[in-house]
Amino acid sequence: MSEQTFQITGMDCADCARSIEKGVAKLDGVALCRLNFTTETLRVDGSVDQETIVNRIRELGYNVAAPAAEQTAPPPAAFFPYLWQRRDTRLALLAALLILPGLVFHELLPGAGIDGVWIDLTAVLAMIIAGLPILKSAWTAVRVNHEININVLMSIAAIGAVLIGAYTEAGMVMVLFVVAEAIEGYATARARQSIRSLMELAPGKATVLRFCIDCASHMGQDGYDGGPCPICGLEEQRVPVADLRLGETIVVKPGERVPMDGRLLSGSSAVNQAPITGESVPVEKQPGDDLFAGSINGQGTLEIEVTHLAEDNTISRLIRLVAEAQESQAPAQRFVDQFARYYTPAVVAIAALVAIVPPLFFSQPLVAADPAQGWLYRALALLVVACPCALVISTPVSIVSAISNGARHGVIFKGGAHLEELSRVRAIAFDKTGTLTQGSPAVVAVRSVACRRPADDACADCDDLLALACAVEQRSEHPIAQAVVAAAAQRSLDRQYAAAEDVQALMGRGVTGQVNGRAVTIGSHLFFDDHDAHAAHCAELEAAANQGYTTMLVRRDEAYLGYIAVADTMRPSGETAVAELRALGIEHLIMLTGDNEQTAHKVAADVGVTDVRANCLPEDKVTAVTQLRQQFGHVVMVGDGINDAPALAAANVGIAIGHTAQALETADITLMRDDLRLLPFAVRLSRATMRIIGVNVALALGLKFAFFVLVLLGLGSMWLAVLADMGVSLLVTLNGMRLLRRPKMGEGE
């Protein structure tokens, strides 16, 4: 048993997808069949061969895209070229010309006195030309699927209209229905394309530095007899990105897109990462920094080491996750689809009762001189009103638009279910380290014993202290040491002293080294307790420790010089994000951390969180999230996606911050950049989505009900019913597509 994947073309609404899914599922050897309307992807599990599946799809009136064209053929930008490229629509437009005499002289100007058999004949011909594909599809649905779908309803209505003499109505129903389906297909295709545009972010080719192989120009020189040419050396070669290997060096010139995830080896530039992370401001990149495939290089030429293969780079993972998200239905979408399954047969039964009961029990005319006054006509009109297109498209187009908007801003939803669940959130639990804080230490204070300035005002003595510490610490890879080096580099002090010699660790309590022939020692407060020279700073050191800072004392030879305080700094966006969440009505914001109470409450006070759970082991965080779910019902857990996986899984929705592979794989929602303001944006987007879905469903059902009443009162016609259904289908589609652009970052609800 194996899985086969097909890209379906020709679907205009979710009802089409159900017909294909049901028809393919009836083939012998098919164990499981799943078709997602928004991605147009059909997956079939079983032992059935590919040709049999393709033939069944074509028998149902649809087609299968060639593998190479699956993701590369965008819909036409213009509306009319899209309509004209469809054979069914071209036939319908021809039929519209034939229906004009009947529309003008029978429907709009019945008193003009112009009549004739030729008007009826052209109307019937129009019905046949426009409706032949619909009639064939309807027959296949009944014969193969044993179901009544929208094509069956329209076919019965059109044929019935001909039988009772409503020829113009019959032609109008078919013409308007085909055009309406095409318009609906166009709108849906535009929504789909917003996701497929992700695939255009990374270029298909890259410039790689490679030796030329078997160089004819230098063969035989200096003993060269083939293979990599040592005389030519490395040359720039254009190759498909799929041919790149790990560790190779690629060259990205100014203005080019980065073709592959990698690490910058040489060059510097401001890189626009907005296509991947949604950041509006270019990010300065220096050697050692990571770059994403799909980001846009600025002014410098970059040499980048390839760190991921094409199928595993950031943009490939994004495309895969977003495509999977579209295939994961939200509960609201599943409810609408289930409702539509019973809705259509129920309306057919009601239409049958409308045609039978009044003539049989109340002596009402089945067919009248004016066809619109007969109860058979009203029953046929009800079949037209029953078209479920507007209803079934109301939810998926909203979901796919919201997922697209989120991806564009750097919020990756793994499914519509998570989007819907986020809209109900009542409590949010945050991890501290790496979520509310940067997750890496930074120097927050430098204080020389000779400094007489205020504590937050550095002087030459303080700068000299930092430069000395940098000389010793630059030999270490410890995060705190790197924080000292980074702070010195920021003040241009990293080259004031040469790197220390004879650097030795002091059993976990510090480090010492020789700088300009003198011993410089950096150690903890406890290590320096044997020396009373630092007594002037003891009170400051205790205060720093109470604030959760790590302090390092520095001496040269036996002379105490001062201290450096290091702390895990707050994310700049944390306080703003918490304030925005409170403005959205989410009052229960909880911080879970393994830090002690004192440090935890200090961070919580800085960011604005009032509920703190400190000293939490990973299992304690899971317990806390479980208790919060019992208390509030709908709980979100926000973490860095690395050590918070159990807590993320325990929450209703797990949200990871960061673009690491762990974050993308472990969370239900991923914030692609280190900006917590994406969190309130995601909440606003989810709430807007559910509001629009509710409005769309209400519009679709409300219009159906209104036309039901009009038809039963004899005030509605079949072609007006089709026109109205086309209008509401367009309305709900366009309303759902608003989510492609709104909300934006920073907007209120």
Query: How many CB atoms sit inside 10 A of residue 315's CB?
Result: 24
Is 437 in contact with 676 (CB distance < 8 Å)?
no
Q: Helices 14-25 and 331-362 sit at what angle, rounded to 10 degrees?
A: 90
Q: How far is it, in rounded angstroms, from Cα 273 to Cα 270?
A: 9
Question: Residues 73, 78, 83, 84: is their CA dihedral positive or negative?
Answer: negative
- Strand pairing class (518-523; 302-306): unpaired
User: With 0-12 CB in 10 A as exposed, 13-18 as middle and 19+ as buried, what is 556?
Assistant: middle
Is 594 in contact with 431 (CB distance < 8 Å)?
no
Cα 76 to the center of its chain, rounded Å: 23
Please state whether the peptide bond connecting residue 81 to the residue before it is cis, i.e. omega within 30 degrees of 0: no
Marked catalytic residue, from 12, 88, 337, 431: 431
Torsion region of 251: left, alpha or beta (phi above 0 gives left; psi -120 to 50 gives alpha): beta
- The 3-state secondary structure of 316-359 reads HHHHHHHHHHHHCCCHHHHHHHHHHHHHHHHHHHHHHHHHHHHH
List CB contacts of 459: < 8 A, sequence separation 6 or more.
448, 451, 452, 453
List CB contacts of 357: < 8 A, sequence separation 6 or more.
none
Is 460 in contact with 546 (CB distance < 8 Å)?
no
Return contacts of 117-122, CB within 8 angstroms, 24+ apart: 119/167, 119/168, 120/167, 120/168, 122/98, 122/171
DSSP H or E run through 529: none
Q: How far is it, in rounded angstroms, from Cα 566 to Cα 524?
A: 12
Token digits of residue 466: 């930092």
- Strand pairing class (653-657; 635-639): parallel
Which whole-number Å values give the CA distances from 361 to 356, 358, 367, 546, in the listed order? 8, 6, 15, 89
Which whole-number Å values give the CA distances from 158 to 152, 225, 334, in the listed order? 10, 79, 31
Q: How far is it, in rounded angstroms, from Cα 501 to Cα 445?
A: 26
Q: How far is it, in rounded angstroms, from Cα 54 to Cα 73?
A: 20
Q: Is 120 a catalytic residue?
A: no
What three-state secondary structure class fits 519? strand
Catalytic center residues: 431
